Amino acid sequence: QIEDIISRIQDEKAGGVPIRTVKSFLSKIPSVVTGTDIVQWLMKNLNIEDPVEAIHLGSLITAQGYFFPISDHVLTLKDDGTFYRFQSPYFWPSNCWEPENTDYAIYLCKRTMQNKARLELADYEAENLARLQRAFARKWEFIFMQAEAQVKVDRKKDKTERKILDSQERAFWDVHRPVPGCVNTTEMDIRKCRRMKNPQKVKKSVYGVTEESQTRSPVHTPVQPTRKTTKEDVKKEITFLNIQLDRHCMKMSKVAESLMTYTEQFLDYDPFVTIPEPSNPWITDDPTFWDLEASKEPSQARVKRWGFSLEEALKDPVGRDQFLKFLESEFSSENLRFWLAVQDLKRQPLQDVPVRAQEIWQEFLAAGAPSSINLDSHSYERTSHNIKDPGRYSFEDAQEHIYMLMKSDSYARFLRSNAYQDLLLAKKK
């Protein structure tokens, strides 16, 4: 229905709003209408008597991006001389997919290459660009090339056409990535959808109501007396909301993107996708590949894999030894030795665990320990409590803290170190 209204507004032959080019000081503004023209057309053709109602309806249509103000990022309709431009059908919500962050990154990157005076990034857009550049550091070169290619295509177009298309593209992103403080009208809350389709079931699952709902006729539904909310009801709701706040939620698009990145990264290491050298031991009787993987002389592919993550470096015995040597050169090898000792503890026979746990405590965590490690107070308190009744996982908190410490600090320096870089270059040769 909205698109039918928009088509009628643009049809000048059938009494639509006249779209014109307005002369401004030293320039022309092509293909615009005023907010007053749109409000008057809505009142005349949709039988609306109240101007406020017409403005409200027009603002709802504007919020969906069907027409937009050319000089403002806030998508509302004003009953004055503000100039508006109609959106291209290509960018209509019914014709568009939900754009990804990579699309937004390409758009912002493209803006930085174009006319600085006319298309300069707003503060929030500059912040978004910096955030996206950090998030897509590995694929930024690809994003930059895509933006560069689009700029070259745009430059071949007529100046007036380019100006119109730039404003339409900007309006599209004002809908999907709105100005801070504005509502994103394209996002659909899945819980709201479920609530609309099955309110009884959702009320039961979301708010923790345990009573079984009786099946009733949709026509003759008896009116239930409203029960006054008790203190216990409020406590239950607060508990439920606190649990929901702690839940880690992630968009499906993000999960898919992470999976694709992981798959692309490990593509060369999958013997069913990329044939390994000298032969594939999964489909032949030749174990040479396994021998090379177990060799103390790592191949170039193995050395390169250490750079994927700290986990990959520690899984390879040679990579683990190289990382330990690097830490020894920095006088911080106690972190890795503690992590390895805890890993070894998890594989110990149950009867040996208490003795080995005490040895680890005395070596790394006790007062005056010879290889004292740096722990935060929370992890130290938890570990101190666990060691009173030692088990295989008594050092879990401390081990996780040390792992994150190595990952964020020592591991990054290891990848930049001459030892790793020399080994990587030597294997390439």
Instruction: Decide if pLDDT at 156 tops 60.
Output: yes
Instruction: Decide if pLDDT at 291 tops 80.
Output: yes
The confidence score (pLDDT) of residue 76 equals 87
Give the closest residue to 375 by CA, choosing from 354, 346, 409, 405: 405
Q: What is the pLDDT of residues 57-104, one digit of tens each?
A: 999 898 888 889 988 888 889 888 889 999 888 888 877 667 888 889
The confidence score (pLDDT) of residue 300 equals 85
Instruction: Decide if pLDDT at 383 tops 90.
Output: yes
CA distances from 182 to 121, 176, 191 (A): 18, 11, 21
And the tokens for 287? 């174990």
Instruction: Decide if pLDDT at 199 tops 80.
Output: no
Q: What is the pLDDT of residues 122-149, one digit of tens each?
A: 888 888 888 898 888 888 888 888 888 8
Which segment of 229-233, 314-318, 332-336 scores lowest on mean pLDDT?
A: 229-233
Q: What is d(CA 224, CA 211) in angstroms, rounded to the nearest whole number? A: 14
Q: What is d(CA 416, CA 332) in angstroms, rounded to the nearest whole number? A: 17
The confidence score (pLDDT) of residue 361 equals 94
CB 109 within 8 A of CB 128: no
The confidence score (pLDDT) of residue 384 equals 92
Element (H, E) at 24: strand 20-24
- What's the mean pLDDT in 102-108? 90
CB 176 within 8 A of CB 68: no
Which residues are 20's β-sheet partners?
32
For residue 214, name the pLDDT band (cuts at 50, 70, 90): very low
Instruction: Decide if pLDDT at 209 tops 80.
Output: no
Instruction: Decide if pLDDT at 117 tops 80.
Output: no
The confidence score (pLDDT) of residue 217 equals 38
pTM over 0.75: no
Q: What rounded mean pLDDT belongs to the chain?
A: 83
In 10 A of CB 416, how many CB atoms? 8
- What's the mean pLDDT in 378-397? 92
